Copies of this chain bind each other. A is one copy, B any other.
């Protein structure tokens, strides 16, 4: 058992606050790091200690391993928690920790390296008897290899970066005449994003469900799963809404997927908290997708239905404790949903940066907020647009959905556009409400608006306009011009 009484949190935003809260509750001293842009950010204020580690761009601060290790040592930390994103899946961080005598709260560098390589991971899983999607087992090195692999697999096929993740270097190809140009573009993208141009190929499943299993593995070979999460509400491979349990799983299928996930973890020698992602086709067949070797953004839905604080368990495992639970101890209590609230236009998903002028967070029965923002906060342009997550729990899925709608109605973030209106549309969608949806759901959601409250809205606008006429407009002139221009620009921007 190693002593962990002081932890450096190598992250920012809501996840850094989440980890600091777990530290607060267990008497562990939390140490934040921050870039020049983040001096007044919530995670800096929340932690017990905080150290600046460089300029605003994350390549000069949150991604600089040496600065983070040096800060951890200087502050007298025993351990580093990477959160998600940034360095969380970079094997160089656990390697550097080991070299400097620090505990990395996560898996070791070897299993992270193995699972980070998608083709290597596929081979390990196939060997362990876990179903994988038909396709190439090795990176495709030439055009003839690509053509052969695609016609053997059958169209449509998906080109994927071997070193990849997050939708970069991914192309759907429907027929042979698109294949080679798509391959070349994917290679270029993979090289630029991951420094590695390796591309492989899988059968493209049309509108599958994305279902993943949360696992916990200690350093003594004990591995359990904490049930599944359904994450099919996605846009460009980015999850937007997650829930647990998944309505399509019965306990037999949950058992099979859980066993597959545990086998995947054991086969790769993985420890700590991780997630095994699967795609599930319309017949209920599931296929290994990848292992996320870290805490997930959506971990709270699992916490809500199991009552287990995953961050605290991560710390316990890293300190050398044995798992406190057997598989039989893990139940499912009710249902939980998470909505990711981003500073984005709810229709175009274009980023919306700005100053949070007013903030009212929802609460009451069954509502949990994980937030990285506060009132009077200027959102930096340098980082991810995720502002916060709303998680609701209900005795059943219907209650969880009703509470989410209530929570979103109560949530007021003024100053920037957020994805709250988008989430409301999904939550009242018939397919979603019935649990009958897949990764195609976002594409078919319509952004229509009702005119139910048009009159009251018009009255409110008029009253505010009347009042505004009394104030001096000079300071607003620039904003006004800007508005006109961005009005003209409408439709002239697309996220790529």
Contacts and interface: CB of A to CB of B under 8 A. Distances in A.
A374 B363 CA distance: 12
A309 interface: yes
A370 interface: yes
B409 A24 contact: yes
A26 B402 contact: yes
A363 B374 CA distance: 12
A365 B309 CA distance: 8
A439 interface: no
Interface stretch (A132-140, A211-219, A300-308): A300-308
Interface string A363-384: 1111111110011000000000
A361 interface: yes
A417 to B, nearest CB: 22
B361 A368 contact: no
A365 B333 contact: no
A174 interface: no
A21 interface: yes
Contacts of A361: 361, 363
A307 B21 CA distance: 24
Interface in A5-32: 17-18, 21-22, 24-26
Contacts of A303: 365
A17 B22 CA distance: 30
Given A300-B365, A368-B363, A406 B24 contact: yes
Contacts of A360: 374-375
A334 interface: yes
Interface residues of A, number: 34
A395 interface: yes
A229 interface: no
A365 B303 CA distance: 8
Nearest to A23: B406
Given A24-B409, A307-B395, A308-B395, A18 B402 contact: no
A210 interface: no
Nearest to A360: B374
Interface string A382-409: 0000000000000100010011011001
Contacts of A402: 24-26
Nearest to A392: B25
Contact of A369 (B22, B24, B363, B406): B363
Nearest to A396: B307
Contact of A25 (B18, B374, B399): B399
A333 B363 CA distance: 21
Most buried by B among A307, A364, A367: A364
A463 to B, nearest CB: 15
A21 B363 CA distance: 10
Nearest to A300: B365
Interface string A439-450: 000000000000
B309 A21 contact: no
Nearest first, the 10 closest Cβ-Cβ pairs linking A and B are A363-B369, A25-B402, A24-B406, A21-B364, A307-B395, A25-B406, A307-B334, A25-B403, A309-B365, A361-B361
6 contacts: A18-B364, A18-B365, A307-B333, A309-B399, A363-B369, A363-B370
Interface of A: 17-18, 21-22, 24-26, 300, 303, 307-309, 333-334, 360-361, 363-371, 374-375, 395, 399, 402-403, 405-406, 409
Given A25-B399, A308-B395, A366-B368, 12 more contacts: A18-B364, A18-B365, A21-B364, A24-B402, A24-B405, A307-B333, A309-B365, A309-B399, A361-B363, A364-B368, A364-B369, A365-B368
